[in-house]
Amino acid sequence: MIDIHSHILPGVDDGAKDLKASIEMAKVAVNEGIRTIIATPHHKNGDFENSPASIFRKVEELNEILSTESIPLTVLPGQEIRIYGEFIEDYETGQLLTLNQTQYVFIECPSNHVPRYTDKLLFDIQMRGLVPIIVHPERNSEIIENPDLLYQFVKNGTLSQLTASSIAGHFGKKIKKFSLQLIEANLTHFVSSDAHNVTSRSFKMIEAFEEIEKKYGNDMNYLFKGNAELLIQGKTVYKEIPERVKSKKFLGIF
């Protein structure tokens, strides 16, 4: 299994505090069946700022340590980028990092809203040959209130990624139900952990895929797992035609 979103690098953001924590996360990931993981530290997070060069260096160091510890996990470079107006300029000057140096790039919106310029920026990103992926839309309060926002983004070529813990119910029943609605409406394309540690923000990939299999069968799991494989290879992922979240169902759960 491939996990495309994690905060496993030590001491670079609000994820693994140190190398010991990174190793603990790696062991849990392997126990969940994960063999490849993309490290996606926050581009900027409080006092932290992670440049592509520093991420490459940290990934190489962690892979060497995991090999020494005989932990069968391969770490790939990536970055979680909070949406901001100078995205294009900074990408073009090499300050931003895509996922495993492919055309895919993570975009994070603030948890409580979607900036007005988001649609224009997502268009501009695609015009540069990149494929934007909105991370954890199921936890964005404005998208929860108005899921048509995500529908329009996906209809126009943007992808999205759900958090395994959301599907498994660890962020509450409402977020779990909304996550399942996004799956049903073909508004999401990846399931990954967004793991920060092994306690409060662990992987939960097995739980999530068990839930998906129970609701939708194995074909949906194959789609999500296959897309993660296609992503790290820089290939085109599978997409179904997006649909609007049905309003009466939506209003019925909130």
What is the pTM (predicted TM-score) of this model? 0.95
Residue 133 DSSP label: E
Name the CATH architecture for the domain at 2-253: Alpha-Beta Barrel (3.20)
| Domain extent listing, the chain | 2-253
Supply the pLDDT for residue 246. Answer: 83
Supply the pLDDT for residue 247. Answer: 65
Residues of the chain with pLDDT below 70 are: 247-254
Supply the pLDDT for residue 47. Answer: 80
Contact 189, 106 (CB under 8 A): no
3-class SS shares of the chain: helix, strand, coil, % to 5:
45, 15, 40
Give pLDDT tens digits for 15-36.
Answer: 999 999 999 999 999 999 999 9
Supply the pLDDT for residue 179. Answer: 98
Supply the pLDDT for residue 252. Answer: 46
Q: Which two tokens stand for residue 47?
A: 């006092």
Supply the pLDDT for residue 46. Answer: 74
Question: If 0-12 CB within 10 Å is exposed, 13-18 middle and 19+ buried, where does residue 27 land?
Answer: middle
Question: Could you tell me where the DSSP H helices lie in the chain?
Answer: 19-31, 52-68, 87-92, 118-127, 141-145, 148-155, 164-167, 173-184, 205-216, 218-232, 247-253
Give pLDDT tens digits for 202-222.
Answer: 999 999 999 999 999 999 999
Question: If 0-12 CB within 10 Å is exposed, 13-18 middle and 19+ buried, where does residue 131 land?
Answer: buried
Supply the pLDDT for residue 43. Answer: 96
Give pLDDT tens digits for 68-87.
Answer: 999 999 999 999 999 999 99
